[in-house]
Chain A
Amino acid sequence: MSFTFADVAAVKNDLARVDYLSDEAIAGVVFLAERLQKPILVEGPAGTGKTQLAKSVAEMTGSRLIRLQCYEGLDEAKALYEWNYKKQLLRIQTERADDHDWAEVSDDIFSDEFLLTRPLLEAISADDPVVLLIDEVDRVEVETEALLLEILSDYQVSIPELGTIVAKQIPMVFLTSNNTRELSEALKRRCLYLHIDYPDMEREKEIVLTKVPDITENLADQIARVVRSIRSIELKKSPSVSETIDWARTLMLLGVSKIDEKVATDTISVLLKYQSDIKKASKELSTADGLSA
């Protein structure tokens, strides 16, 4: 059996190549997932690059990304497969004209030809390498989660009329969750668990440097510092990495080279999205000793 990655450092480098700055934990889990052939369940606050990780891994390995966006009310027909009902009807009608045997027809209409593959089945039956991303899995009901279990543990889908379809090659699977509810034990047990938190200052600075072209190191450093201070305040919603990047871009457009209090409070609405948060952060940033210190 051949593996794509030699060791953890290789994963990290490859991810950096596609502009995703990982850390030990992220690279380690991706490495392990490939070795153990297990799905990865990624949790963490919004906007820390959970979905991006899956995209980057796809890009890095040159695989096709198949994405299943979860929502409340997602069902088998949308996630796994569906019979192409209209086509089946047509088929039955044409057969009838030729006077065919019923058994023959019924065998015929439940075949591959009449099967509409949905993301999960598509990922399983793909010939080329794929990365399957099941996004925001916490949005589906607990009952629907059960749909995923077979595919996650055995990489196969059972279709009553057709039999079991086993994966031709094991895809990399990422599940993301915003933690709005506790996922079932059964699901968690089948996955490797990865929690992506806000990056530390050094890493955030690196991220800003890679994602925002032409930014000076000095400014990136200041941005990372201010964001860290804001995150240390108890807020409704702390600024995410993507918001940090937006802020960096804003500052670039404004031609700012040094962040002072005025610049920070003027543009803080890019970072924070709640009025109460903005008020609180502006107030705290302008007091030297800070309540959280």
Chain B
Amino acid sequence: MIVELGHFALVLAFAVAVYQTIIPLYGAARGSQRLMNVAGSAALTQFVLVAMAFAALIWAYVNSDFSVENVWANSHTAKPLLYKVTGVWSNHEGSMLLWVSILAFFGAAIALFSGNLPQSLKARVLGVQGSISVAFLLYIVTVSNPFARIPLDQVPMQGRGFNPILQDPALAFHPPLLYSGYVGFSVAFSFAIAALMEGKVDAAWARWVRPWTLAAWTFLTLGIALGSWWAYYELGWGGWWFWDPVENASLMPWLAGTALLHSAIVVEKRNTLKIWTILLAIIAFSLSLIGTFLVRSGVLSSVHAFAVDPERGVFILMILLFFIGGSFILYAARASSLKTGGLFAPISREGALVVNNLLMSASAAAVFIGTLFPLAYEAMTNGGKITVGAPYFNFTFGLLMIPLLLLIPVGPMLSWKRADLFAALRKLIPAAAIALIVALAVIAVTSGRVFMAALGLALGVWIVAGALVELAGRIKLFRAPASVSLRRLWNIPGQALGMALAHMGMGLVVLGIIASSTWKEEVITSINIGDSIKAGGYEVRFMSEREEKGPDYIAQQAHFDILKNGRKIREVFSEKRAFIPRGMPTTEVGLVHFLSGDLYVAIGDHDKKGLVVRVYFQPFIYLMWIGALFMAFGGVVSLLDRRFRVGVAKKAAARLAAEGAKS
């Protein structure tokens, strides 16, 4: 019954979404107050209905209602409760419902927090949001229904269980975070389309778009970091990024979103680069759509997967074509009607942000081509199979990233409109000095053997130190009394602090990547109880082995002691689990964190000589995830900036208007 209610709510939500699209857009075109006003309540109603449907599916999973095909195919009574719930989005149908739920949530949030948005803009934004809902809800209801029942006389007693490598806390929350990021860009997209319809983009528009973009970007950053963290400790290969198409699918919107974040600043502060910003908003969401479908449609497995499931394939293509094609046509037709604003010299804050945007977009394009080239090749050569591997991505992406990373500390030092490059660089001398010292120290310690790595580390230090120098300059550290500096630190705008934190995070990511990939130690060998493996100055001693029973798996567990200078300092367990529902094995890595890096112990099978054990020592690899947290935290701090709070935009607009009247 509850399942049918959920299904019914979903169909109703579709109807409401149609209403939410047509009426406000028509109203905005006609200038009718009454028609535009329905947008908000329609968005809220749609959210309530979609949430009901989502809750109904969760209910079916929690109660293991195997008469629902989707539950039967992906759940099992022996699964812990958390994974019953997360099982909802571990499959295609459920994840699409999650997507729409987040979309409806964002729609409701716009409706609630946009009191001071111009009425026609609000109506149009919600109308466009509604149209995205229409497409996705129609897709779910017609060809991807999670509520489909199995005939009553054939209801199975037990579900098939889900892929056990998904049974993991990090992966449980990876899809919701990632989707919040993808879907968050829909808001920027809706604002961009609405602005094209209105024919007007101004600083107030950018002030509206930026927090939503920032929120989406923060979610996406966390989602990607969590996914890579999961790959690191669950796959048991010691790697954290494989340039796999599903990973690239999330990286592309992140790159475009990062570019959008930066160009929206220019629109907000200087009222220029508007057309470009609109285009980026469209591209960021288009890449999010492509990302969703790349992973979920099976097109990655093969172009022919579309032929296996033509209904879904064609539907998905239609959605992509409509939103991406449609928005580009609208863009081409209307972009020229947007008035451009302030002028700027090539060397200026605006100029630096343009360079950032060019590099970001170029790297997104490089990833895009590398990811989709095998698909195009397969289609063109009638089934020829190629892969574009890590070397391609490392080369192109790496080359494009180096100048971008070098410029990170310089950009914030430049003034708007026209800047003095040498004055800016002079301020960065302390950062450059620290970076140089680090590089020389590394070269001296390793007697020059890892020259490139030394440069890489210097680059990371340069970014971190550059962000700190910028902050120090802002609070007049050492140039004013300590009390003044402290007060300035307390009053520092959230946006400035957020930027510094995010840039620092990027620097930490660079440091983590370079250090762990250069000095990674890897030992793979078979050992018996009592034997040791040495890595990273630690000794890993195999102590015992036994069988352990989990809720829905049997594990072969190995116990290791970690010794330093012959003394036991830690112990670690490493497991190989065989899951009962599907009989599928997974690896549970034993992971010990030290200040100098991670010790990573994974076990394999028994061979003639003993147990195969992999030990990795990954120096400073944790900096990568700490860096990602810094970036996300920077996003949050920036969001909390007073200027973004409700009501402030109105006051600022009033002030601007007053100033405009004066001049």
Answer yes or no: do A and B interact.
no
> Which B residues are closer than 8 A to A by beta carbons?
none
